[in-house]
């Protein structure tokens, strides 16, 4: 048959064809990566030095102008080469980043990743296993199974076969928890009812919307935690008798870091036949600490638990988990796509991964987690958790002793709410934006019934008392202006 007419394509073996960009994998990948890493690391150091602090100064316009000057043209006709592109863009990103490794960057549940976890993540990127089928990720499949079971056993120590899914974070974990609850309630005539506190993460409401469930009944939480009396009233409301119910409790709220009274809430769920999901995205890693773990008593009575290791676990994003007391609880997620988990392959013993996520292609986020667990051990991680909680307690002491500041409450985890006194909400909000604009400090904001507060979320285990004094001095400096 004559060859079809069409454009001429150069043969890959054509002597005139320039060598394509080197690959990261295989035996030669590390040799190709080595010099590039030198460029990346230099650019990271230069960018951080050029930033002169925790945050780029000048606000969105200045940051965008600096990025335009470095990043354009985005798609040049002829490329600039690996070293130039890495140096320019990594440097620009580092210079313009909010850097959680700086103790004055303490706004959000945005942790500074450990160097060893970032190094492991490079290996994950180079090898690029994809956890949607065993034939794309044989060793990663085994490592994920071992690691998720070990972490789930920490959350459910008294259960014989606990398991956990790896997620992109609390948002996805909460969504999966609602999905599992919806599936468990499928046989009943009425749709699943969700009951949460006003302190629950916004992703609960979004997940209900996404899954076609009625909007959650949201109980007021003026004291910051879900009140068992209010939950009792909601669970005994005669109008909802027989309605399958999922209760959401939070262990470590986004706004204040408080932990709902888990044992009392679990008792109520048990008595009234409701399912319980505990969003421990923030507070879950207290499990690593011998001294702090008791604050999570009752956690193992939940049907599902969300835990994030990119918050109090010092992992690069993403490192979320959804734990269940028994691996069979995950069966509703089973799914079939012949090219990934053909029944005869599964019968022949090839692990079926499709039911372990709603995603298809999936990064081996487990590698950095497993490396961290092995390198630091439970005690090492517990020590980091204790350090940031102790730093928060110290910051609260400093604020308490300062006549120019009001402390909202003693911290439960590593979140401290405070504000200058006297102040009003407009001044407090403006003060936060001024600190951001100058790139001096990154603080968050939280509104309670008492008004607006500055929020310091301390996730840097290297933070010293001097760093905390500097932070307060910076805030004080703005108040005096």
Which residues of this chain interact with ligand PLP, rule CB under 6 A? 109, 169-171, 201, 203, 250, 252-254, 279, 281-282, 308, 320
CB of 311 to ligand PLP, least distance (A): 7
Using CB positions, name the residue nearest to ligand PLP: 169
CB of 48 to ligand PLP, least distance (A): 24
Q: Is the dihedral of CA 322, 153, 318, 292 positive or negative?
A: positive
State how far the alpha carbon of 300 is from the alpha carbons of 17, 156, 294, 320, 462, in Å: 61, 5, 12, 18, 31
- Cβ proximity to ligand PLP, 95 vs 172, nearer residue: 172
- Cβ proximity to ligand PLP, 250 vs 341, nearer residue: 250
CB of 94 to ligand PLP, least distance (A): 22
CB of 313 to ligand PLP, least distance (A): 11
- Cβ proximity to ligand PLP, 299 vs 472, nearer residue: 299
Q: Which residue from 183, 251, 247 is spatially nearest to 217, judged by alpha carbons?
A: 247
- Cβ proximity to ligand PLP, 134 vs 453, nearer residue: 453
CB of 201 to ligand PLP, least distance (A): 4
- Cβ proximity to ligand PLP, 175 vs 423, nearer residue: 175
Contact 299, 188 (CB under 8 A): no
Phi, psi dihedral angles at 205 (to 5 degrees): -65, -40
Distance, CA of 120 to CA of 122 (rounded, Å)? 5
- Cβ proximity to ligand PLP, 152 vs 207, nearer residue: 207
Q: Which residue from 306, 284, 285, 111 is spatially nearest to 196, judged by alpha carbons?
A: 306
CB of 200 to ligand PLP, least distance (A): 8
Q: Which helix (H) or strand (E) holds 278?
A: strand 275-279
- Cβ proximity to ligand PLP, 156 vs 282, nearer residue: 282
Edge-to-edge strand list for the sheet holding 193-197: 163-167, 320-324, 304-308, 275-279, 245-250, 193-197, 217-219
- Cβ proximity to ligand PLP, 443 vs 472, nearer residue: 443
Residues 6 or more apart whose CB falls under 8 angstroms from that of 347 comprise: none
Coil, helix or strand at residue 246: strand
Report helix, strand and coil shares of the chain as percent, to nearest 5: 45, 15, 40
327's tokens: 């691996």
- Cβ proximity to ligand PLP, 232 vs 359, nearer residue: 359
Phi, psi dihedral angles at 58 (to 5 degrees): 105, -10
CB of 109 to ligand PLP, least distance (A): 4
State how far the alpha carbon of 123 is from the alpha carbons of 2, 30, 345, 375, in Å: 46, 10, 28, 16
CB of 279 to ligand PLP, least distance (A): 5
CB of 167 to ligand PLP, least distance (A): 8
């Amino acid at each position: 048959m004559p060859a079809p007419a069409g454009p001429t394509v150069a043969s890959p073996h054509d002597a005139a064809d320039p060598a394509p960009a080197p690959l990261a994998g295989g035996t030669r990948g590390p040799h190709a990566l080595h010099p590039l890493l030198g460029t990346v690391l230099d650019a990271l150091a230069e960018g951080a030095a050029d930033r002169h602090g925790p945050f780029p100064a000048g606000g969105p316009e200045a940051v965008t102008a600096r990025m335009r000057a470095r990043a354009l043209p985005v798609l040049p006709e002829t490329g600039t080469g690996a070293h130039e592109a890495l140096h320019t863009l990594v440097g620009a990103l580092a210079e313009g980043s909010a850097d959680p490794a700086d103790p004055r960057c303490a706004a959000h549940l945005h942790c500074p990743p450990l160097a060893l976890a970032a190094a492991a993540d490079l290996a994950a990127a180079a090898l690029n296993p994809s956890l949607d089928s065993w034939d794309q990720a044989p060793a990663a499949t085994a490592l994920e199974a071992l690691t998720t079971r070990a972490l789930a056993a920490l959350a459910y120590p008294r259960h014989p076969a606990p398991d956990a899914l790896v997620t992109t974070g609390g948002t996805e974990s909460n969504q999966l928890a609602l999905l599992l609850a919806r599936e468990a309630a499928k046989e009943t005539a009425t749709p699943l009812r969700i009951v949460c506190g006003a302190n629950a993460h916004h992703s609960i409401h979004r997940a209900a919307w996404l899954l076609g469930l009625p909007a959650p009944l949201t109980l007021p939480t003026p004291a910051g935690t879900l009140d068992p009396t209010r939950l009792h009233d909601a669970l005994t409301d005669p109008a909802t008798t027989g309605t399958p119910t999922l209760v959401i409790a939070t262990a470590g709220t986004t706004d204040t870091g408080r932990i709902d009274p888990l044992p009392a809430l679990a008792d109520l769920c048990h008595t009234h036949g409701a399912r319980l999901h505990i969003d421990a995205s923030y507070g879950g890693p207290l499990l690593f600490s011998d001294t702090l773990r008791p604050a999570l008593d009752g956690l193992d009575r939940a049907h599902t638990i969300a835990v994030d290791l990119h918050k109090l676990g010092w992992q690069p994003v993403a490192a979320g988990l959804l734990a269940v007391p028994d691996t069979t609880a995950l069966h509703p997620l089973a799914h079939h796509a012949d090219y990934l988990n053909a029944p005869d392959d599964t019968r022949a013993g090839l692990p079926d991964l499709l039911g372990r996520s709603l995603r298809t292609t999936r990064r081996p986020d487990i590698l950095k987690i497993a490396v961290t667990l092995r390198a630091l051990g439970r005690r090492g991680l517990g020590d980091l958790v204790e350090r940031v909680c102790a730093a928060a307690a110290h910051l609260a002491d400093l604020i308490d002793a300062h006549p120019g500041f009001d402390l909202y409450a003693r911290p439960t985890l590593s979140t401290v709410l405070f504000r200058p006194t006297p102040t009003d909400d407009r001044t407090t909000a403006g003060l936060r934006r001024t600190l951001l604009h100058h790139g001096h400090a990154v603080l968050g904001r939280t509104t309670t019934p008492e008004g607006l507060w500055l929020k310091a979320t301390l996730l840097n285990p290297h933070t010293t008392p001097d760093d905390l004094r500097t932070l307060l001095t910076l805030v004080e400096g703005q108040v005096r202006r």
